[in-house]
Amino acid sequence: MQHGKYRFIAGFLIVPLAIYAVFVIWPFVQAIYYSFTDWTGLSPDFKMVGFDNYTKMFDDGTFWKSAQHSVTYVLLLPVVVLALALFFAFMINVGGRRRKDAAIAGVRGSAFYKIVYFFPQVLSIAIVALLFQFAYNPRNGAFSAILRGIGLGSVQPDWLGDPNLALWCIMAVLVWTQVGFFVVLFSAGMASIPKDFYEAALLDGANRFTTFFRITLPLLWDTVQSGWVYMGILSLGAEAFAVVQIMSVGPGGPADSTTVLPLLVYQKAFRDGQAGYATTIGVALLIITLIFSAIVMRLGRRERLEF
């Protein structure tokens, strides 16, 4: 019976594992292999160059600047996005005034707020980047118009043209696009927490601040941890690349002030014809992503709470 059971399980697993190996594991193996070659990406002819690409990468100032920007994204974006999303979700679900029919309630119009917050998720990231590119126009963009409207017309920053501002302006767009998704995600998690917990805490004299850190956050921690990892991977991946590629000067400028690792991989592979070197940078990006995920999972480990 045991052997039959194992054959039955293996029969179900062999196909999905084979698909996973072909479409997920094998591309990683290929990328690592090509990182040791001088492949241009255009010709089938290439030769092994050993660790030359890695030596070149460590001596590349643009790589280190891009890595710095990517690390800045992965350290700040999850903190800002998740903090805002937790605050908004808490206010929507728990932060309202007491009503006659319930001691715990969200703010009025909470369903409408969920739709408003989630709206950026409906739009393509390319459309969002183009809209904000127009909004950041220093002459007739929305943000400059707001400054003029409040009497700060003399303050006309070159939002995307200033090396000191461009990175933060693009980061603000990524925050705007992602907060809504996590508001809905955390709202679903908070809706599953029994209201009795909050009512008991209020009877004991706890305020909203205490109930959030003593009840909501501990019971929602698994969702927050998963969101942290997801947001970090997103900060290192396609979302950051798309926004920087569309919005920044160059792209990646001015003076490489907004270049991130995914954009550098794209430029080296498709602009400069250095696919082997691009895969080397991709391997470095993979290592950074794995280190980030491992640190978050390790630091966020705690006893599981059930209710």
Mean pLDDT for each 10-residue chunk of the chain (307 residues)? 67 86 90 91 85 93 93 92 91 67 64 82 89 89 86 82 91 92 88 79 78 84 88 86 90 89 92 91 91 84 59
Instruction: Give me the pLDDT at residue 172, please.
Output: 93
Instruction: Give me the pLDDT at residue 210, please.
Output: 83
Instruction: Give me the pLDDT at residue 246, please.
Output: 92
Instruction: Give me the pLDDT at residue 96, please.
Output: 58
pLDDT by residue (tens digit) across 5-63? Answer: 677 777 778 888 899 999 989 988 998 999 999 998 888 888 899 899 999 999 999 99
Separation of alpha carbons 285 and 248, rounded Å: 21
Domains of the chain: 62-299 (1.10.3720.10)
Instruction: Give me the pLDDT at residue 303, please.
Output: 58
Instruction: Give me the pLDDT at residue 171, please.
Output: 93
Angle at Cα 92 formed by Cα 192 and Cα 214, nearest 5°?
Answer: 60
Residue type, 250: G
| Nearest by Cα to 190 from 109, 111, 107, 106 | 106
DSSP characters for the chain?
A: -HHHHHHHHHHHHHHHHHHHIIIIIHHHHHHHHHTTB---SS-S---B-TTHHHHHHHT-HHHHHHHHHHHHHHHHHHHHHHHHHHHHHHHHHTBSPPBTTBSSB--TTHHHHHHHHHHHHHS-HHHHHHHHHHHT-TTT-HHHHHHHHTT-TT----TTT-TTTHHHHHHHHHHHHHHHHHHHHHHHHHHTS-HHHHHHHHHTT--HHHHIIIIIHHHTHHHHHHHHHHHHHHHTSHHHHHHHHHHSBTTTBSTTSS--HHHHHHIIIIIS--HHHHHHHHHHHHHHHHHHHHHHHHHT--PPP--
How many whole angstroms from its chain centre is CA 96?
29
